[in-house]
Structure 1
Amino acid sequence: MNIELGISTFGETTILEKTGQAYSHAERIQQLVKEIELADQVGLDVYGIGEHHREDFAVSAPEIVLAAGAVNTSRIKLTSAVSILSSMDPVRLYQQYATIDALSNGRAEIMAGRGSFIESFPLFGYDLQDYEELFDEKLAMLLQIKEQTNLNWQGKHTQTVQNNPVYPRAVQEDFPIWVATGGHVESTIKIAKAGLPIVYAIIGTAPKNFKPLVDVYRKMTRNLGYSPEQTKVAAHSWGWIGDDNQAAIDAYFHPTKQTTDNIAKDRPHWTEMTKAAYLQSISDQGASIVGDPKAVAQKMIETIETLGLDRFFLHLPVGSMPHDEVLHAIELYGQEVAPRVRAYFADQ
């Protein structure tokens, strides 16, 4: 099995436990470029940055950060994680990532999503009542742009375009467009019918609970005649890596609680994180992957094997950590965790 291992991030800017201060958005964005470069140096396969429009996440334009990261890297794939397609212009989105594809010599990807966070909708003048229609129409438009240089498009929520070319074109002949989902069966079915690769955000429950969804996706894409190369499955989970297992567990509680508590302010179905809930989340019954390289590799292997994944993102970190510690965690991921995981699946 050829497993791709990577990192996802939102560029979190929560309060640091040791200083009581938060990194500024400018500091965090600059740090992300260094993290991309290091991830490339230690041999990780992919780096993804998500789009948000709120104070506790620094990145509203992941394509710009990824473009900066493309310049001094040579092999790592660069993807959004996610681009909120529902509140974006598909023409502009394609152009942006085709530009990153040029800068990186064919290493860019788009991961499109409906938007778990909805701040972008009023910000860009979209009605949440059109939530599903916006995504479906814009995804169809994006896929047509990918396939045809000259765009002919009749829009309802999008512009109508009459035989206008879209440039630049991506370097990759089959430019990768993934679709992310939080785990709704309806989303899984839509993505399967489109024959697009899928990414599951595994956060609040054990990875094994996503297996029925993955099985539905695999069965549908196979029955519809899509190839395994077209229909890859990825997942991302929160995580952290340290030299010492217990020290890593202890250190990661504060940033995880900061992020969870911030989200809970806006979402009725989220609650502030207790220490007991945190320990549950990093146990075998939870989604988070935290510990020393051996422990992290083992849980990552179990997640990948259970779901039959082609790609896995460790969201590292989910809340702000001192940047030197983040860089060390990336080193541990590339130099100790990834070799263990790859060696295991090389024998499969």
Structure 2
Amino acid sequence: MDSRNRHIVPKIDLKNGIEFGIYTLADHLPNPYTKERISAGQRIKDIIEMGRYAEQAGFDIFQVGESHQDYFVGQAHTVILSALAQATKTIKLSSGSTIISTSDPVRVFEDAATIDLISDGRMELVAGRASRVGLYDLLGYNLDDYEALFEEKFKLLLEINENEYVNWQGEYRAPLKNAHVIPRPDNEQKGLPIWRAVGGALASAYKAGQEGVPMYLAHLGGPAEAFKSRVDVYREAAVQAGHDVKNLPIATAGFLFAHENMIEAYKQYYPHINEGHMKTNGSGFPKAAFNEGKDRRSVLNVGDPKLIVEKILYQHELFNNSRYIGQLDFGGVPLDDVKRNIDIIGEKILPEVKKHTRTKEEE
């Protein structure tokens, strides 16, 4: 395949094992135990502190998601990421994800490239569709165009990312005629690593592989084996399109919560997940499904350090992923508990995961 047609992918050095990070959806939910909710300003400050603390604990990446509904403060998620760019020094930063369907790709790139310059080259983008669709009315888009909007705008985002001057003709925005899109990241490619977010749809995984872009695979719960079909379809599509799958990283993302006692982890975390889902999705998280997470084959990475290490390594065997991103603050988890989790993960989980996922050349 012509190297000029390769998209920009993140540089992930597996000599020390897979990358390990945290993502937040920037939810703004009450603590189910106290029924109290901190202010929006404090929640944003806590997210910035969480990123700073994760960096100190040795995490590789921190992501902030975009949402435009009640019980969230991540509407302007790139603004939060910009604050994180100055509050941190080494940890990679990323959206998780940016809803490209209802955003202008030019503006998305301008914002992300600016954060990349502030952070000295640490910014990435994950482009997604939105699992909560109220933002289509809020931002003036037709939900009937859900798929078409994403596909067109994602392609335009890639075009902008790889070309400083852009000519573009599409259906959902005015044409671009030799448009000069700046600023540019200060790297050889003058662009950013851009991932395609994939949920339950096999078709989305297939398109990510055909396009030859990194895949960001998000999951809430269930057996890890159920998600392997997305990975297989992605890699098969990439091969069919002539891409080198060895150079196409996969990231997996899902719930993460650690406690020294496995039963206590499930007992403490369930009210956060259940009541958080009740408020944001309209229905709770089934307790039986949550308890199935105690099986090492589940993607629900909740438990004591030993169990969580077993789960993440099992998932790595299935997916051969290059990055794992955990969400541990959903549902009003107080900052002190988040920090305790980061401490446990940094001291007892991260080193084991790194040790057992190093590339063979380094064994």
Bin the TM-score by the shorter chain.
Answer: over 0.9
Identical columns (%): 32
Check whether the contact 2:207–2:234 (CA below 8 A) recurs between aligned residues: no
Match of 1:202 in 2: 219
Shift of 1:282: 4.4
The residue correspondences of 1:186-335 to structure 2 (distance < 5 A) are: 186-228=203-245, 230-265=247-282, 271-284=283-296, 286-335=298-347
Amino acid at match of 1:233: I
Q: Secondary structure at the match of 2:156?
A: helix
Q: Secondary structure at the match of 1:251?
A: helix
The residue correspondences of 1:3-42 to structure 2 (distance < 5 A) are: 3-42=18-57
Shift of 1:346: 2.3
Check whether the contact 2:210–2:240 (CA below 8 A) recurs between aligned residues: no
TM-score by length of 2: 0.90
After the TM superposition, which of the residue ranges 282-291 and 1-10 deviates more from structure 2? Answer: 282-291
Shift of 1:229: 5.6
The residue correspondences of 1:64-213 to structure 2 (distance < 5 A) are: 64-172=79-187, 173=189, 174-213=191-230
Separation (CA, whole Å) in 2 of partners of 1:245 and 1:204:
17
Q: Deviations over 1:3-39 (max 9, x none)?
A: 1111111122222133211122211111010111111
Check whether the contact 1:138–1:158 (CA below 8 A) recurs between aligned residues: no
Separation (CA, whole Å) in 2 of partners of 1:264 and 1:135:
22
Q: Secondary structure at the match of 2:357?
A: helix
Match of 2:5 in 1: none
* Total equivalences in the alignment: 343
Kindly report structure 1 stretches of 4+ aligned residues shifted beyond 6 Å.
none
Q: Secondary structure at the match of 1:237?
A: strand
> What is the RMSD of the two structures over their aligned residues, measured on CA atoms?
1.7
**Structure 1 residues 301 and 285: CA distance shift in structure 2, 3 A:** closer
Structure 2 residue ranges without an equivalent (≥5): 1-13
Q: Secondary structure at the match of 2:62?
A: strand
**Structure 1 residues 77 and 215: CA distance shift in structure 2, 3 A:** same
Check whether the contact 2:69–2:135 (CA below 8 A) recurs between aligned residues: no
Q: Deviations over 1:294-337 (max 9, x none)?
A: 22222111112211111111111221112111012112222221
Amino acid at match of 2:151: D
Separation (CA, whole Å) in 1 of partners of 2:100 and 2:286:
34
Amino acid at match of 1:323: L
Q: Secondary structure at the match of 2:49?
A: helix
Shift of 1:45: 0.8
Separation (CA, whole Å) in 2 of partners of 1:258 and 1:171:
44
Shift of 1:75: 1.8
Check whether the contact 2:274–2:285 (CA below 8 A) recurs between aligned residues: yes
Check whether the contact 1:195–1:230 (CA below 8 A) recurs between aligned residues: no
TM-score by length of 1: 0.94
Check whether the contact 1:13–1:22 (CA below 8 A) recurs between aligned residues: yes
Q: Secondary structure at the match of 2:124?
A: strand
Amino acid at match of 2:333: M
Amino acid at match of 1:182: G
After the TM superposition, which of the residue ranges 38-47 and 15-24 deviates more from structure 2? Answer: 15-24
User: Are residues 1:338 and 2:360 paired?
Assistant: no
Amino acid at match of 1:259: G
Check whether the contact 2:217–2:253 (CA below 8 A) recurs between aligned residues: yes
Q: Secondary structure at the match of 1:118?
A: coil
